[in-house]
Amino acid sequence: MKASAFVYPWDVNGDPEAPARIARLGVAQVTLAAAYHSTRALTPRHPRHRVVTAEHAAVLYPAGDRWKDRELRPYPAGDWAPGDAFGEAAGALADAGLEVHTWVVLAHNSRLGAEHPDTSVVNAYGDRYPWAPCIAQSATRAYLVDLAAEAAVRPGARGTELESLGWYGLQHLHAHDKTGGVGLGDAGQYLMALCFCPACREGYGRHGLDAGRLAAEVRAALEPVWRGAPSDGGWTGVEKLLGAATAAATRAWRDETARSLQEAAVTAVRAAAPEGFQVLLHADPVSYHCGANAGVDPGHILSVADGVVVPCAGGTRLLTPFVERGRAGAVVAANFTVVSGMGGSPDTLASDAAHARALGATELRLYHAGLASDGDLEAVRSALAGL
């Protein structure tokens, strides 16, 4: 199975040993961040630093002229990734014999929400989620589509992986997160993700819902949950809380909004890319789910993109819907965390990968070559050598 390791430019730049060390893992490819959200990351082997603080979402290369005079535009990185950090790292990795694909984070940007509050998701209580741009808004959609095209198609890249190309909700680890006091469950998380910005209010109206009444119904449905009532049960739990007809109308609006954005972004990337450029999405096969792995309809997304990267940190069950509804030649990449300190299991990678392959996965993704300890990397080397 072809394997790719996720990497940040700051893992490579300034460390002349990094490209060869990553190549020795046995991967054929690296998925290198070109546009990324704010983060604090360890660099356990870098000769000049041990912790990198990326203070805000940024592009890790010089942004192009398309952004001139536009209100919504990508932010340049600070000293954690100066200049063309992506290009420098990509060149070094390619020289080590590794195929480079871009890693592009889209609808996840706290600085955008802080500086342009009207772009953010607004929940039924009127609270804004500054980390979550509302993907129904026309200006935000235009920004995301153009960012996808520019950040994905960097010089030397052979493909891209688009993350957060869909709705974001409450479940994001914001700074010193304190939102775990009430178990919202899958259904409660969905209700807390429903957006009530002007664009979404209009969208609900097109599906026969009065937005003001809907917001009141959401608040009423959540009241028992705040007092400790369970809100699990997947989509049936949402229907129980909100009513089947109302729940279906909200999902129809959100699904069509996400699908059309995904189609537009993939089309824009392909228009900017050379022939043979691979376009994958980080995806969850349950369309109403929110987050970095955007909720999608498996059959639809595999008719649009070249494939998907599927989270497997909690097991491989999410692979099956993509395999069953895929098409010949589609990539279904199983994404395993190999950082033991982050809950990963590098020691079981060989058996996990074999199980994923038996289910129909075609490739592996390994999160994350820069964050892993030496022991974790040795376990990855051993596992890949045996595949």
Coil vs helix vs strand at 309 = strand
Residue range 2-178+278-385 in CATH 3.20.20.80: yes
Neighbouring CB atoms inside 10 A of 94's CB total 16
Q: Which DSSP category does 69 fall into?
A: T
Q: Specify the length of the chain in residues.
A: 387
Burial of residue 24 (CB within 10 Å: 0-12, 13-18, 19+) is exposed
Contacts of 70 (CB under 8 A, 6+ apart): 143
Q: List Cα–Cα distances, 355 to 320, 324, 359, 386, in angstroms.
A: 12, 16, 6, 14
Coil vs helix vs strand at 363 = strand
C-beta separation of 152 from 102 below 8 A:
yes
Q: What is the dihedral of CA 253, 235, 113, 82, to 10 degrees?
A: -110
Kindly report each contact of residues 224-232 with a partner whose C-beta sits within 8 Å and lies 24 or more positions away, as own/partner: 225/182, 225/184, 225/185, 225/188, 226/182, 228/182, 230/183, 230/185, 231/183, 231/184, 231/185, 231/186, 231/187, 231/188, 231/191, 232/185, 232/186, 232/187
pLDDT block averages, 10 residues each, the chain of length 387:
97 98 98 97 97 97 97 98 98 98 97 97 97 97 98 98 97 74 90 98 98 98 92 91 97 98 98 98 97 96 98 96 94 98 96 97 98 98 95
Q: Which DSSP category does 233 fall into?
A: S
Q: What is the dihedral of CA 237, 241, 246, 249, to 10 degrees?
A: -40
Distance CA 19, CA 91 (A): 10
Give the model's pLDDT for residue 232: 81
The residue extents of the domains of the chain are 2-178+278-385
Give the model's pLDDT for residue 180: 78
CA angle 303, 305, 307 (to 5 degrees): 100
Q: Report the run of H or E that residue 307 belongs to, with start and end.
A: strand 307-311
In the block, tokens 């935000």 appear at 140
The per-residue b/e assignment along 203-224, b for 16 or more CB within 10 angstroms, e otherwise, is bbeebebebeebbebbeebbee
Distance CA 102, CA 61 (A): 12
Coil vs helix vs strand at 128 = strand
Distance CA 244, CA 249 (A): 9
Q: List Cα–Cα distances, 175 to 64, 108, 194, 368, in angstroms.
A: 30, 14, 22, 21
Of 161, 139, 144, which is closest to residue 152 (Cα–Cα)?
A: 161
**Cis bond before residue 368 (omega within 30° of 0):** yes
pTM greater than 0.75 (yes/no): yes
Give the model's pLDDT for residue 183: 84
